[in-house]
Structure 1
Amino acid sequence: MRSGDTIMALSSGTLPAGVAVIRLSGPLVRTALDAVAGGIPRPRHMSLRHIGHSRRLDQGLVAYFPAPNSFTGEDCAELQVHGSSAGVKAILNDLRALGLRLAEAGEFTRRAFENGKLNLVEIEGLGDLLNADTEKQRQQALARFDGGLSREIDQWRDTLLDLRAEIEARLDFSDEGDVSDDLPVSWQAQLEDLEHAIGKALASVDSGRIVREGIRVALAGAPNAGKSSLINALAKSDIAIVSDEAGTTRDVREVPLDIGGQLFILLDLAGLRDTESRAEAEGIRRAEQAIAQSDIVLWLRAPDADDVAKPATHGRVLTVATKADLGPLTGQDLVVSTETGAGLDDVINRLRSLGEDLAGGEPALVSHARDRDALTAALAGLDETKRAFGDWELAAESLRHTSAALERLIGRIDAERVLDRLFASFCIGK
């Protein structure tokens, strides 16, 4: 990415389409609008213009957003034109002739970061919002993008500044009579409140991750226990191969399912048994690994399938009696028949209930591995501060470590390490 260039991109998706949005940002935006749109429209108002430099290429709406009050902080513009592949190509060629270049992936958003319009956690929220498939993912991503986490971090940083000011005053002015050797009574309470707030946020990372990545539900059991039939019935699609031949499923198949606005990832797994087939044995190994890492395990039992021992898992386990039309099984949490459809609603309702429990009530603002690392480091800094209490130099240094962890989270320091990876996941024109 080269700063100082004026960039352009089609931001509205695949052509042909009803409308195409061409986005511009950089110092040549005003020049480009003069040339291809017959002048600069009134800021932040749509204006109907003929589009084209030396010849008319199209007609569309033009909007101009002057710096610094734009998405990137630079002069920006949008051309809303007809979504013709030939028309868009011709307009981009006109703009290229004026000195603009095509933007790289995520370059608009990176410029917004570099110009102080967004910080890293807000950018991650924007990325999550663009990728959201369910209502809860949308709510969580929007809360992060809107600055919910940024405001909490700002409050924590303000508290840290107050705590550090008291300690560093005793370092810098220890010989002044008006600076007491003892810290104010409220200092310790502020430290403990801050530790509690950051600890609470850290504890919500898992629930935030579950909303963002989805709840992993393993359908497990012996061969022919009805795993593939149940996953097809829940997904209302013939996704998995159903056969009465044992060992048909040999890999982990993931099926996304939206239940009550929460994303569930259903895992169709190989049946568990002893086998001499190397291919099936590998499928069973992968199944056991998926079960161990799942948030929920539906342990399936059927009247015509042998019982096998349940593998270890940290997830919630529900025992499901399948093929209820063939005969009853007792002592199960749920009973279903994919032939008649009986009990399927009960499975959906139980998954919804468990999902609400795992994901929590309000959307968590922290959900990324970076969040966990930064908050863990911040808490470690506060713990060092308490252990260094009385040694003002060590205590001040520990508080600086806590501040640095939060600064890294929002991208105030050490941002370059994550920028390339972060913006590479964005689409062109964003």
Structure 2
Amino acid sequence: MASRQAKQGAQAGVYVIVVIAILGVGNWLAKDYNKTLDVTANKRFTLSDQTKKVVGNLKKEINVYYFEKTDRYEQARDMFDRYRNLSSNFKVNYVDPDKRPDVARIEGMRNFGDIIIDSGVKKETAKALTEEELTGALIRALKTGTRTVCFVEGSGEHRVSDTAREGYSTFKDALEKNNYKTQTISLIEKPEVPKACNIVIVGGPKRDYLQPAADALKTYVAGGGNAVVNFDAVLYLPDQKMGDTPNLSALVAEWGVTMKGDVLIDLGSASRLFGQLSPVIGSYESHPITRVMADNASVLPLARSLEVKAPAEKLFSTSEGSYSLTNPKLPMKEADLDKGAKGPFAVGAAAKIGSGNTAGRVVVVGSSNWTANFIMAAPIANRDLALNVMNWLTSDEELISIRPKEPEDRRLSVTGGGLRALFFFSIIGLPLFVILTGVSVWWRRR
């Protein structure tokens, strides 16, 4: 009997040791090999490539101050822990302003919920506890100096003050979130690019530039300036020829880009969302701007094709389902495609003008609507592509990436009939089913 008890005691002891060992190994794995699985449709809980690149490359300690009441810290820990796992230099400080008013005063806290990122040289505030705001504030805190993007106006270009469908206000907001300042300039009154402009954007002028204005852009780029020149498709209307800008076309031809006088049509399935006059980019080249863009769809509404030769390099092209038509009759018919050439066609190019550190950089795109509000707000890659262009122009190539996605609106829309059905099922149907089931069981056992 004593032998049996000793044997059972030994077995119990072994079981306890095994359980403790398993728990210990599990705790060690959880601590040193922290892995998560994100099964959400838009990878809501996975940090973007840009965040991983920026945080992972931190060379010095960055202090992040989260000002909130102590009982509200937990709602922020998940987000901050994901950042901390990328770099030991990302330090998070949870501060209750009621308990530490001295820290709140020194760091410049204004409201509960403020997130202040202090690089030691510069402080920036994230307006919300989202990846887009946090990473944007971190980039602004790390970057010293100012980068100014100048939008040319006066010849019918897209305007940054325009919040309508074809305005550039969304593009402007995206630039400012990424540490760029913006302003507008005119090359009509004074054909000279201001020295403050790090990048000049020509947003699809409806009227051609006068020669002095074109010469001003040429001089600016030759002196080491950076420019984006967006063109529109050439359409022949009864009273005018739209998109025809010979002086501007002659300028980019000197940079190795020849603009074709056509309009591109896309019959591929991917173009159905925005229409046949909005070609989808079918391929990206291995250029610093586009090498991270593979498998990301971008759209170029009202686009024209271009030919590329040195010193320019091709950036992206339309799909094989695209066609090039010259002077098509509107509205177009499928039979009109027999008169056109079949794609793919180059629609974007980049060039370095000059040599060394003083070389100017230019990007030419055969569409001006590719950064318009209705496109920049869509769940496609145009926003990433546009900001990658900006990063390349200012030689911030380490920031070229796929950025945080804005949260999707996944609210359930229910009709009046659906609400009535839901009410009947939950308030009447389900309780009635439970009652009838109970009565049935009672009756059978009676």
TM-score normalised by the shorter chain: which range applies? under 0.3
TM-score (norm 1): 0.24
Name the one with the larger helix percent.
Answer: 1
Greater relative contact order: 1 or 2 (C-alpha under 8 angstroms, separation 6 or more)? Answer: 1
Q: TM-score, normalization: structure 2?
A: 0.24
